[in-house]
A and B are shown apart, each in its own frame.
Chain A
Amino acid sequence: MKEYRRPMPVAWWLRRRPYTFFMLRELTSLLIAVYALVLLLLVRSLARGPDAYQAFLEVLRSPAAIAFHVVALAAAVYHSVTWFRLAPMAVALRVGGRRLPAPAVVAANYAAWALVSLAVAWLLLRS
């Protein structure tokens, strides 16, 4: 007997909200990739000497560059927060015979984030 196979619609991720949020999370990585590229270009301008570096800093001060950084920051925060929320799924640590509760795993991620942020802030602001 002939089976009927239903094609997967191209816009499958618009059909239900959880899929849309998933795709949004995946798309944030594009912005983060572009941000990494900007960082690499910054390093390249530094290697090319003070004039090139100053010229690049001017580019970064443009409204378009600032707008991009705001959007990229929002994407990075969305990406991080959604992954922290999912972290307890992967971490099945057992303490005293019981599985570590999910809020503890999430809290540990936020604590690590805060620590790394503080370390970076200290590096940048100590001079």
Chain B
Amino acid sequence: MGGVVRSEPLVLVVDDEATVRQALERALRLEGFAVTTAADGLEALAAVAQRPPAVIVLDVMMPGLDGVSVVRRLRGDGIDVPVCMLSARDEVEDRVAGLQAGADDYLVKPFAIAELTARLEALLRRGGAEGAGPHMAGDIVIDPRRDIATRAGRELGLTRREFDLLDVFVRHPGQVLSRDQLLSLVWGYTTDVETNVVDVFVGYVRRKLEEAGEPRILHTVRGVGWALRP
């Protein structure tokens, strides 16, 4: 598959079902990834501590420590490795909890391997902070170096992915950004990825922007996308 791979990036596959672990491990190896596996949340945390992976594929529903808790622990420990969650279509609440805890994306089981590799490659491409100093739009201030976003002085408490999304809007004030543009700018996805992850995250960011009763600043442009209008 596309992309020049320097050395094989390490993927940690976490799923309580042995058959799923085995199938994903084999598939991802053949796609050019190095793979380690974990059968539950605690094993996953241990694996991350032992050998930090480049990206984690994490099942949401597991006995014992579930996927959401794993994300929460990782982010709580300041571990910023990108996480793609695997969930059933009806596990919406767990998925939402996972994304809010700091996971970057999700896939609904069963999924195509092409879909998974596209996400993983995009998540691996995610660059660090672009600009150097703080920048602002209206009453929103973004400081990439300190990973802090505020509105009218109020710290927004964004997750990594929410932060990146708002960062893109603040860099393009007044400009209408489409789903595909945001998928590419924030997630690094090419357009053939089918997901509503942008809609979900715009919702999260918007809620945090308006938490203290502030007026709407991130507006929906029907049929096109969204625009930050300070």
Asked if A pairs with B, the answer is no
- A: residues with CB less than 8 A from B are none
- B: residues with CB less than 8 A from A are none
